[in-house]
Structure 1
Amino acid sequence: MEAQELFTAIGNFGFPIVLSWYLLLRMEQRLDKLGDCLHELSSAIVKEQKKTE
Structure 2
Amino acid sequence: MGAGPVYGQEVVLTAEVDLAEIVRSKYDFDVAGHYSRPGIFQLTVDESPRSVVARKA
| Normalised-by-shorter TM-score class | under 0.3
Q: Which has more helix, going by share of residues?
A: 1
